Chain A
């Protein structure tokens, strides 16, 4: 049985909350989680260079907040991630058409987000998901850093970063003994640090996913996409 009711207040309610601080926090999280995937899609699908993609992403989120598009998300119709992709598609298409029209001496058109078809390019979808995973991981990592800082566990975070993040590319793989020597701690302490940090990091991933989803079903679906497994 799930530990949460089927529909939670998290994302849906937070995005349309009357409380400005709650709404701002939700919007901030959405932007942090989706800015990079949005930029990546704009670059790939619309062939924009990085600076133009960043500008358009900024305009997209500003537009979405101004028009309260995010508050129009209906959890019953699908995942928030899919909803965001569809309104991005609508926005980018319109922006692209407007840019072409302006070049020909025409005028800007209004964006409609109600009847947008998603791109069928599987590569773009994969890229969007891949960058979304990267963003969620980055948010969780930042939360872990703050937690370690507040708990006076800077060494724990440093060891975790050295082994599981910076050391991920090392070939041959880093050994605990190397990390222990680098930080001047016993090997057993490296194992303890990593155990502690991984447990908390996993918790931050789950918390972030819960905050980014509206229903238990959506949370489970996103957790499966990110972690490859069901999370209870």
Chain B
């Protein structure tokens, strides 16, 4: 037998590491690795459809992380929303590792998609993210790792928030932010999130984190998405992002819905609560909002003046 090349060794190691999920799931190629596990494309032989199978990567095995994956599956199971990837099944691999199966999303990340979107299109996708996150908050789940890489735009244009592996469950969703009775998916005393996107309070493992941490991350995402558009972002939208990313938690939007309302308001040329506009800006906004009516009125006035002038002549 010929000598195995280094590449063959690496491939065979990967083949050995590949999840063996019984007869039901035939696991194919690796789609990506995240903070907690690896996601593979797989075929559900029972239902004859392609799915995504998430499993712990071999280097990361520990009791705590296994629990995290199981809890992530449970978090997803309680979040049935068009903007949150649906979970189909969960179980334990032949080698003892926990796994769960979810819808296979074909598409691309939000930031990639945003480069091709108009500003309005990008904002509407961003609002879909806000809706999904707000839905999770209402059910006591704080994502804690929101970033463009964790948002996929599917082939039908649907927006899906992924990777709930470090989410926090708040048992009291009616409490603003839900800081009481929390259950942490992660280990105690760990800073959770992605630098650059996570709220300052997330870096302090001892600080309590509530829904406003997600507001912060959404604010950073909004800022980056606006910057990706190339042209200078309008001041009201910059103000929305600035308010969402305030370092003092109390100065942020109290809820994602409030932030989303401001963005919808800007799209509708209505006042944005985070931005104090000048009289000229108010006039311009008034014109934009009532453009058709104003133009019609102007046309009417011009015609009236012409008629009067013609009669006078």
Contact = CB atoms under 8 A, between A and B. Distances in A.
Contact of A231 (B8, B12, B28, B95): B95
Interface residues of A, number: 30
B17 interface: yes
Contact of B13 (A165, A228, A230): A228
Contact of A195 (B16, B17, B26, B61): B26
Number of chain B interface residues as a range: 20 to 34
Given A164-B11, A198-B15, A227-B17, A191 B96 contact: no
A38 to B, nearest CB: 15
A201 B16 contact: yes
Interface in B47-94: 58-59, 61
Contacts of B43: 188, 191
Interface stretch (A9-17, A58-66, A88-96, A137-145): A137-145
- Interface centre among A167, A192, A199, A202, by most chain B C-beta atoms within 10 angstroms, is A202
Contact of B20 (A138, A199, A228, A229): A199
A181 interface: no
A138 B5 CA distance: 11
Given A165-B12, A169-B8, A198-B16, 6 more contacts: A137-B4, A138-B4, A198-B20, A202-B20, A227-B17, A228-B59
Interface of B: 1, 3-5, 7-13, 15-18, 20, 26-28, 43, 58-59, 61, 95-96
26 contacts: A133-B9, A134-B3, A137-B4, A138-B1, A141-B1, A141-B4, A142-B1, A167-B11, A168-B7, A191-B43, A192-B26, A195-B26, A198-B20, A201-B16, A202-B15, A205-B16, A226-B13, A227-B16, A228-B13, A228-B17, A229-B17, A229-B58, A229-B59, A229-B61, A230-B61, A232-B95
Interface of A: 133-134, 137-138, 141-142, 164-169, 176, 188, 191-192, 194-195, 198-199, 201-202, 205, 226-232
